[in-house]
């Protein structure tokens, strides 16, 4: 039987895909790509048409085969799948290094650039220029021995980074808390208690069984009246995969922390950079390390006075010197007092059955595309849904899978990922398909999931990414959608989309009581919108602390040699900008997957950077009305549909008429500018 991953169907057949198919499919396609590349290079004349276009097709095919494997590894993780995934990563890393260091291919791209530049469109030029840059960043200019070393480093990094993530997942999964006394769990929201009761029953135990999935963790530290219980969850969370965490040392990421930083530093210096942060910026919108550090420190200085006042207010409200595990709990209580709002109490007004159609309506108003559910599409879990996206003429332009609920074996958090990237080369069109993944609590059978407003904002965020991916009009996959978009600009469409979840005009579209359909009252609506600025300073300095830690740790003249020195750097960042007292057992870096296993290494600053961009862009909408279709069309044309085909700063300035201005964000957060 044919390997289902090698089928050329539009959508993956998840019923047939098994872990044992993964390595074989990736291996088969790599062999085919390799042979095809040599064939293309053997042609007497290398041209854009004869080399770059077919090469785009080959790379697209490989990424399409790997996308379902990578996705399943994140949302339906099992031991065999994980093993298969690791093998694929090994194969792909070797292949990418080989292609990146292919002197014949690099020479061909350089030749095309010098001979054909003037005949190519701006997007086509960008593909060739990106490739030339990437050859350099893959070590093409190095002597043979160094080039081999560079390849070895890339392999080792890929392994260490996936092991880092596995440890966090395993450590999270291994932890549970069994309660038999209801007073212990007082304050926890009913849906979390119900879920824990079902888990206990399933495990043949009385009482309640809590796991460390993200919604449960957040609920525990925000709502548990028992300070001991909050501390228990907090400590379990911040010591995951560390030397002091539960199940240590099986999942201790300590050795991997130093190993990953050392390998990155060596790779950067081999390429002639002073440190990994410089290497990271070679593909970003920000131009140099000073620009990023200045940006982060300036923003921190602006937010700090507000954050200090907010923390003092919180401590005064609690009536004692609060610790890290008290912050969420007292913040929630203070927010209820100040704004009369409880996120939990508002859940019935945000049933997913209402939020989702409302979100689709907003997207349609802005960009003229309709999103319609399609049944009968093969999915990896019965709760997953599929939606077709059509333009105003009814033509299908993309699709998306929505996987909303938390479950065992699924990575925490929310994200958008690609299943298929748009491609229109040699007359054949492949439309883009996305995954939108969240970790909402699974409702009881037949019931609708009830979201907090924060979860609604998360949903908007991920759909913003999905729109970037799906509304692209770029034909070449390497620069279509989010591909080729610098990391520090990639959060612009997602953070921009969040803005509509915070507008009084939109809330009637996305809210309505689950039983009665009754809208939020005027007073509650006003209170809810006011919460946006609640503790904006504290949230921002926390985010800036992560960003500075990430950037500082990657811009050292030498990689830190011990976990103590890593935590020493974290402490020095914290002493500058943190307002919440640090707690001695915190092992936060040990599970900081964004930078140690994800793509945010020396790039975490991107969140704040893109927030500045999105607040500035949204100001353009506010100037003409948030549903102004002319503004939406201009944004679609300048940025959203262009993906990686344009220079992000030029696109921004073309849309806005000025360079990004942080004051829009500060004003939005209620911070004096
Ligand atoms: Zn995002």
* Domains in the chain: boundaries: 4-100+102-137, 175-238, 347-480+502-533
pLDDT band at 651; cut points 50, 70, 90: very high
Take residue 434 and report the two structure tokens written for it: 């996305």
CA of 461 to the centre of ligand 1 (A): 6
pLDDT band at 384; cut points 50, 70, 90: very high
Three-class DSSP category at 354? helix
Task: In whole angstroms, give the CA distance from residue 654 to residue 552.
Answer: 32
CA of 336 to the centre of ligand 1 (A): 28
Q: Give the number of other Cβ atoms within 10 Å of residue 408's Cβ.
A: 10
Mean pLDDT of the chain: 95
Instruction: Please state the rounded mean pLDDT for residues 94-111.
Output: 95
Three-class DSSP category at 393? coil
Q: Where are the alpha helices (DSSP H) in 519-597?
A: 522-530, 536-553, 563-577, 593-596
CA of 555 to the centre of ligand 1 (A): 24
In this prediction, residue 10 carries a pLDDT of 84
pLDDT band at 604; cut points 50, 70, 90: very high
351 forms beta bridges with 450
CA of 462 to the centre of ligand 1 (A): 6
pLDDT(248) > 80: no
In this prediction, residue 245 carries a pLDDT of 78
Task: In whole angstroms, give the CA distance from residue 668 to residue 502.
Answer: 11
CA of 490 to the centre of ligand 1 (A): 8
pLDDT(452) > 90: yes
In this prediction, residue 340 carries a pLDDT of 85
Q: Which residues contact 108 (CB under 8 A, 6 or more apart)?
A: 41, 46, 51
CA of 450 to the centre of ligand 1 (A): 22
Take residue 322 and report the two structure tokens written for it: 């609060």
Three-class DSSP category at 375? coil
pLDDT(166) > 80: yes
pLDDT(555) > 80: yes
Backbone angles phi, psi at 402, to 5 degrees: -115, 120
In this prediction, residue 603 carries a pLDDT of 96
430 forms beta bridges with 423
CA of 435 to the centre of ligand 1 (A): 13
Task: In whole angstroms, give the CA distance from residue 548 to residue 542.
Answer: 10
Straight-line distance from the first to the last Cα atom of the chain, in angstroms, rounded to the nearest whole number: 65
Share of the chain above pLDDT 70, in %: 100
Active site residues: 462
pLDDT(246) > 80: no
Task: In whole angstroms, give the CA distance from residue 527 to residue 338.
Answer: 9
For the stretch 564-598, what's the b/e string if a residue is b when 16 or more beta carbons lie within 10 angstroms of its beta carbon? eebbebbeebbebbbbbeeeeebbbbbbbbbbbbb
CA of 610 to the centre of ligand 1 (A): 10
| pLDDT digit string, tens, across residues 107-154 | 999 999 999 999 999 999 999 999 999 999 999 999 999 999 998 999
Query: What would you report as the CA-atom Rg of the chain, rounded to the nearest whole angstrom?
Result: 25
Class (C level, CATH) for 347-480+502-533 = mainly alpha
pLDDT band at 599; cut points 50, 70, 90: confident
Higher confidence at residue 249 or residue 325?
325
CA of 493 to the centre of ligand 1 (A): 9
Question: For residues 23, 25, 26 and 30, what is the CA-based torsion angle, rounded to 10 degrees?
Answer: 130
Q: How many residues are there in the chain?
A: 673
pLDDT(209) > 90: yes
CA of 614 to the centre of ligand 1 (A): 12
Instruction: Please state the rounded mean pLDDT for residues 617-626.
Output: 96
CA of 319 to the centre of ligand 1 (A): 36
pLDDT(587) > 80: yes
In this prediction, residue 446 carries a pLDDT of 84
CA of 306 to the centre of ligand 1 (A): 25
pLDDT(53) > 90: yes
CA of 114 to the centre of ligand 1 (A): 37
**Cβ(660)–Cβ(616) under 8 Å?**
yes
Residues within 5 Å of ion ligand 1, judged at the Cβ atom = 491, 494
pLDDT(513) > 90: yes
In this prediction, residue 583 carries a pLDDT of 86
Question: For residues 597, 409, 234 and 460, what is the CA-based torsion angle, rounded to 10 degrees?
Answer: 80
Backbone angles phi, psi at 582, to 5 degrees: -80, 150
3-state SS track over 73-128: HHHCCCHHHHHHHHHHHHHHHHHHHHHHCCHHHHHHHHHHHHHHHHHCCHHHHHHH
Q: 4-100+102-137 maps to which CATH number?
A: 1.20.1050.40
Instruction: Please state the rounded mean pLDDT for residues 515-539.
Output: 92
CA proximity to 199, closest of 209, 207, 214: 209
| pLDDT digit string, tens, across residues 407-443 | 888 988 899 999 999 999 999 999 999 999 999 988 9
Half-sphere exposure of 157 (CA within 13 A, CB side): 25
Model pTM? Answer: 0.89
Task: In whole angstroms, give the CA distance from residue 253 to residue 90.
Answer: 20
């Amino acid at each position: 039987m044919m390997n289902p991953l090698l089928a050329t169907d539009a959508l993956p057949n998840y019923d047939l895909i098994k872990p044992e198919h993964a390595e074989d499919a990736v291996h088969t396609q790599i062999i085919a790509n390799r042979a095809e590349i040599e064939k293309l290079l053997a042609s007497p004349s290398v041209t854009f048409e004869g080399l770059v276009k077919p090469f785009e097709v080959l790379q697209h095919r490989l990424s399409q085969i790997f996308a379902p494997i990578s996705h399943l590894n994140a949302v339906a993780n099992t031991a065999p799948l994980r093993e298969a995934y690791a093998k694929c990563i090994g194969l792909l890393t070797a292949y990418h290094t080989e292609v990146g260091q292919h002197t014949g291919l690099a020479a061909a791209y350089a030749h095309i650039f010098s001979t054909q530049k003037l005949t190519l469109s701006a997007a086509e030029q960008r593909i060739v220029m990106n490739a030339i840059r990437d050859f350099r960043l893959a070590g093409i200019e190095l002597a043979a021995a160094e080039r081999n070393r560079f390849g070895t480093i890339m392999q080792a990094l890929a392994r260490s980074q996936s092991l880092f993530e596995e440890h966090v997942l395993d450590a999270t999964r291994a932890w549970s808390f069994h309660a038999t006394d209801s007073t212990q769990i007082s304050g926890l929201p009913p849906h979390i208690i119900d879920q824990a009761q079902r888990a206990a029953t399933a495990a043949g135990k009385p009482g309640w069984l809590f796991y460390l999935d993200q919604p449960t963790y957040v609920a525990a530290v925000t709502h548990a009246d028992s300070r001991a219980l909050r501390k228990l969850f907090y400590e379990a969370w911040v010591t995951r995969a560390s030397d002091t965490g539960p199940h240590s040392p099986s999942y201790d990421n300590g050795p991997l922390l130093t190993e990953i930083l050392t390998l990155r530093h060596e790779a950067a210096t081999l390429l002639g950079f002073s440190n990994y942060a410089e290497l990271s910026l070679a593909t970003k919108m920000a131009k140099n390390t000073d620009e990023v550090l200045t940006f982060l420190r300036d923003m921190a200085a602006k937010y700090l006075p507000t954050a200090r006042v907010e923390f003092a207010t919180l401590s005064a409200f609690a009536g004692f010197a609060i610790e890290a595990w008290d912050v969420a709990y007292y913040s929630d209580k203070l927010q209820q007092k100040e704004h009369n709002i409880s996120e939990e109490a508002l859940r019935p007004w945000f049933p997913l059955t209402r939020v989702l159609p409302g979100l689709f309506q907003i997207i349609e108003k802005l960009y003229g595309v309709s999103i319609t559910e399609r049944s009968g599409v093969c999915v990896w879990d019965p709760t997953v849904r599929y939606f077709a996206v059509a333009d105003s003429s009814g033509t299908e332009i993309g699709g998306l899978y929505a996987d909303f609920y938390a479950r065992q074996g699924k990575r925490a958090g929310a994200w958008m990922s690609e299943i298929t990237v748009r491609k229109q080369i040699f007359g054949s069109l492949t439309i883009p398909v996305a995954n939108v993944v969240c970790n909402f609590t699974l409702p009881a059978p037949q019931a609708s999931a009830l979201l907090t407003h924060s979860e609604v904002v998360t949903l908007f965020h991920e759909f913003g990414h999905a729109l970037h991916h799906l509304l692209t009009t770029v034909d070449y996959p390497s620069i279509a959608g989010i591909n080729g978009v610098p990391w520090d600009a990639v959060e612009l469409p997602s953070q921009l989309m969040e803005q509509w979840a915070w507008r009084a005009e939109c809330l009637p579209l996305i809210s309505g009581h689950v039983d009665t359909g009754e809208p939020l009252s005027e007073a509650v609506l006003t209170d809810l919108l006011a919460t946006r600025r609640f503790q904006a300073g504290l949230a921002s300095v926390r985010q800036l602390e992560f960003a500075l830690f990430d950037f500082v740790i990657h811009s050292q003249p030498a990689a830190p040699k011990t976990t103590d020195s890593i935590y020493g750097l974290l402490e020095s960042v914290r002493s500058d900008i943190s307002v919440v007292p640090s707690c001695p057992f915190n092992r936060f870096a040990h599970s900081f997957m964004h930078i140690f296993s994800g793509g945010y290494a020396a790039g975490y600053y991107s969140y704040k950077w893109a927030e500045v961009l999105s607040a500035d862009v949204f100001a353009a909408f506010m100037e003409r009305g948030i549903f102004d279709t002319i503004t939406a069309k201009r944004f679609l044309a300048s940025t959203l549909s262009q993906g990686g085909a344009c220079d992000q700063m030029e696109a921004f300035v073309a849309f806005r008429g000025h360079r990004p201005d942080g004051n829009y964000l500060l004003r939005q957060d209620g911070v004096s500018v």
